[in-house]
Chains A and B, each alone.
Chain A
């Protein structure tokens, strides 16, 4: 970590203590050279132009991101691309923490140089943490469907996966329905990525089982019942699957996001990704700027970067479906090969609404422990 010069730091401290507004011409933290306060900017125009935003971000020189595993939805390449393009150092902290822990980190590190600048969050956490976000509208704002963004830009959907079944093709045929997984050849083989009372991906797994088994999302019991059957058949593997357990063969079948299962292929060539026919379960993740970002301009530039054609295509390359996919498809800027490799967006897709999610959480809290016992 580079330290800020003492003068600027003291100025920032003075501002914090006495509520002084930074005077123009000073280069105290959070103020671009032309006197724009980056922390309150809600679009690139507030900086004067996109180039001015880039200049302000480069003056800060650093960006803190959190909870972005390099193997998740191509984040390794996305971070690298940002560094190469703008010459800004990206500090990636705690790649494997959950969405809830991102917000805790913002709380614990508030006012420090190491606090996260931007978040990548699951929907449940995003909706209950809006106080932490700063509104911002990216240049490609109009491309993003209204239902995929908060109207002022507090949070914006960035990408989604489809719930899929990753499996080792050396051992198994491609499953065509969930009921296939109940067969004896799958004994002790089927893992779910996380615990649905804790992890978004696992929650989506139960959602997927619900719709695949003919239930509706206002009652996740259908999905819980499927996992109960899976466990009774002796096929449910209750260890937490990681790239290591997949590579070692310990978890030969994993229910997870398609982009994780596609990402695993680089390490495990025999790993295949099966999206079941019928209704697909999707759930967008959300991009948001920390209202107390230590690098407010860099945070806004990152936001622009995430919703640029380049990064939206990088998501697609990893098998995640970016939020601007439809608009880019129309404009002809989409990476056609990547879209084909990702299997195209399924015809029929569903996701749990806020009310459905709450009801499902209550149900899972009491019913999920019974599945295992």
Chain B
């Protein structure tokens, strides 16, 4: 009986998450006539596809690490401010909004500011004679994803990491100081070990966030499908007869495997981090 309250939510998850996921993956194991085949899964070994997985992983990893470090530094700076103060509230609110600022609007914001005819680009070119795109237009290629992705990674880091920072008790710092420890000792021997699981867990969450981002990349990159979500786009909408829709299911399976590994690691780290948050 005590499970009754969970039923609506469980049903919701089943209908809108579990069933579509299973159906999507199932399409990866059949051909267009619906007969069982492993051909689509074999497609995952294609060098182009493997390359896109590698690109997805390094772009997500890089933006997770940079976003994580910048976000964590911001959190450290914030702990100096009053918990209920204006600054804290403004940063909190801004982070919540910006963490969700993605997709086509984010892409167009970048096109309008640092596109070839963008405000900043033209200003730099005319005023300082700096050409952002001397070596080609990187904004619309793989490296161009890094900056836009950081725009939502840093705020997300603030949202997930700030509670962990707030869990550091003032008494611990005082105790360390009383026993003659410098502030460096406190950070190295006490704060860092306590924060490490939360920090790594947050990094994994950021990784997953970037790994599954599609709309921002789709709006910026038209040529080549350098990351996995764009490969899936290609498989689904190709009108030149070049690819088969069913390989999209196999690609989704590949993405889910990566995500499952990341999420399993995340939950392990969360369990360790929870020890200090009681």
Q: Which residues of A contact B (CB under 8 A)?
A: 97-101, 104, 121-122, 124-125, 127-128, 187-189, 191-192, 194-200, 203, 231, 234, 236-241, 245, 248-250, 357-358, 361-362, 364-366, 368-369, 371-373
Distance, CA A121 to CA B219, complexed state (A)? 24
Question: Closest 8 interchain pairs by CB?
Answer: A240-B222, A124-B241, A372-B224, A99-B239, A238-B223, A361-B242, A239-B140, A249-B117
Q: Which residue of B lies closest to A200 (CB)?
A: B239
CB distance from A193 to the nearest CB of B (A): 9
Contact (Cβ within 8 A) A239 B225 = no
Q: Let me know if B224 and A122 touch, CB within 8 A.
A: no
Q: How far is the CB of B225 from chain A (nearest CB, A)?
A: 7
Residues of A within 8 A of B238 (CB): 98, 100, 197-198
Report the minimal beta-carbon distance from A287 to chain B, rounded to whole angstroms.
16
Q: Report the Cα distance A198→B32, complex, angstroms.
A: 18
**Shortest beta-carbon distance, B69 to chain A, in Å?**
28
Chain A: minimal CB distance from B57 (Å): 16
Are B241 and A128 touching (Cβ within 8 A)?
yes
Docked Cα-Cα span, A362 to B225, in Å, equals: 16
Residues of chain B within 8 A (CB-CB) of A199 are 239-240
Inter-subunit contact B234/A197 (CB<8 Å): yes
Contacts of B245 in A (CB 8 A): 100, 104
Residues in chain B near residue A366, CB distance under 8 A = 48
> B143 to chain A: closest CB distance in Å?
12
Alpha-carbon distance A365/B233, docked complex (angstroms): 14
CB of B171 within 8 Å of the partner chain? no
> Nearest chain-B residue to A364 (Cβ)?
B242
Question: In whole angstroms, what is the CA distance A99 to B236 when docked?
Answer: 11
A372 contact set on B, CB distance < 8 A: 141, 223-224, 226
Chain B residues positioned under 8 Å from A369 (CB to CB): 48, 51, 224-226
Instruction: Report if B221 contacts A (CB, 8 A).
Output: yes
Q: Are B117 and A250 within 8 A (Cβ)?
A: yes
Choose among A124, A189, A194, A371 the residue that contacts B222 (Cβ–Cβ < 8 A).
A194
**Bound Cα distance from A197 to B238, whole angstroms:** 7
Expressed in whole angstroms, the minimum distance between the Cβ of B124 and any Cβ of chain A is 14
Whether A198 contacts B239 by the Cβ 8 Å rule is: yes
Q: In the complex, A191→B222 CA distance in Å?
A: 9
A127 vs B240: C-alpha distance in the bound complex, in angstroms?
Answer: 11
Q: Is the CB of A195 within 8 A of B111?
A: no
In the complex, identify which listed stretch (B88-96, B131-139, B153-161, B199-207) lies at the interface while the others stay far away: B131-139
Q: For B239, what are the chain A residues with a Cβ–Cβ distance below 8 Å?
A: 98-101, 121-122, 124-125, 198-200
In the assembled complex, how far is the CB of residue B121 from the closest CB belonging to chain A, in whole angstroms?
10
Asked whether any CB of chain A lies closer than 8 Å to the CB of B68, the reply is no
Interface contact B241-A358, CB-CB below 8 Å: yes
With A122-B240, A197-B243, A200-B239 known as contacts, the answer to whether A234 contacts B223 (CB < 8 A) is no
- Is B168 an interface position by the 8 A CB rule? no
Q: Find chain B residues with CB under 8 A from A192 CB.
A: 222-223
A239-B236 contact in complex given A192-B223, A361-B242, A373-B224, C-beta closer than 8 Å = no
